[in-house]
Chains A and B, each alone.
Chain A
Amino acid sequence: ILNVEQSPQSLHVQEGDSTNFTCSFPSSNFYALHWYRWETAKSPEALFVMTLNGDEKKKGRISATLNTKEGYSYLYIKGSQPEDSATYLCAFVRNFNKFYFGSGTKLNVKP
Chain B
Amino acid sequence: DTAVSQTPKYLVTQMGNDKSIKCEQNLGHDTMYWYKQDSKKFLKIMFSYNNKELIINETVPNRFSPKSPDKAHLNLHINSLELGDSAVYFCASSQGDPGRPQHFGDGTRLSIL
Q: Which residues from chain A sit less than 8 Å from chain B, CB to CB? A: 31-32, 34, 36, 42-46, 48-49, 51, 89, 91, 93, 96-99, 101-104
- Tell me if B99 and A103 are in contact (CB < 8 A): no
Interface size on B, residues (CB 8 A): 25
- Tell me if B102 and A32 are in contact (CB < 8 A): no
When distances are taken between beta carbons in the complex, the residues of chain A under 8 Å from B100 are 49
**In the complex, what distance in Å separates the CA atom of A71 from the CA atom of B56?**
24
Q: A48-B101, A49-B101, A99-B45 provided; 7 other pairs, C-beta below 8 A?
A: A42-B106, A43-B105, A44-B102, A44-B104, A93-B98, A96-B97, A101-B35
- Tell me if A104 and B55 are in contact (CB < 8 A): no
Q: With A42-B106, A46-B103 as given contacts, are A101 and B98 in contact (CB-CB < 8 Å)?
A: no
